[in-house]
Chain A
């Protein structure tokens, strides 16, 4: 079983919809949680960075962490065609040198 599980999709939604992306994990020691966006032929770009449990909002993006359920989510409000990309969750343990990534979810926003 992988440490981090993420549904690879693909996920296709109409413009303006609310998008929910999720990851589950098995290592209870994870404390730092990140969401990256990756456009085709580009490197991952950091979207959201949270520590421990709770919510964090940045514009149209909201990240949620539920450590009791070992479940993290990224919500995108008022989705735009420019949001079409692969979204990767990543997490790490305090002091760890590596990030553990999910497979990535491929998202398409249809105009």
Chain B
């Protein structure tokens, strides 16, 4: 049981390049999300999805695009990379059962550097 798998683990881009960060989960969770982690800022929500075909913006969505065509996958696209997008990106999933908010489970991250 792999849980949440993120690829690649590391990536270096030049300003203006585009790329897709992959996230796959095998827990059959409806909810998936992307966070970025920066020093002194904690984790901030970029985009999230409550199910296939449904996505919405989080706290810091500018410069990022997402789509959700299957329950298992939730890719994050950088349309035109900027140095301000240098960060560690985490994908997280959450089950929808129970009476309240379920805790989120995170992948091991993609470390992205924009030159």
Contacts and interface: CB of A to CB of B under 8 A. Distances in A.
Given A43-B106, A43-B108, A88-B43, A97 B100 contact: no
A34 B94 CA distance: 13
B43 A44 contact: yes
B40 interface: yes
B101 A92 contact: yes
Given A42-B109, A44-B90, A102 B42 contact: yes
Per DSSP, chain B at the interface is strand
A79 B45 CA distance: 32
B48 A98 contact: yes
Contacts of B4: 43
B42 A88 contact: yes
Name the interface size band of chain A. 20 to 34
B58 interface: yes
A42 B42 contact: no
Given A43-B108, A44-B106, A99 B100 contact: no
A98 B59 contact: yes
Given A32-B103, A34-B103, 12 more contacts: A43-B4, A44-B106, A49-B103, A88-B43, A94-B100, A94-B101, A96-B101, A97-B31, A97-B45, A99-B104, A101-B44, A103-B40
Interface of A: 4, 6, 8, 31-32, 34, 36, 41-46, 49, 51, 88, 90, 92, 94-99, 101-104
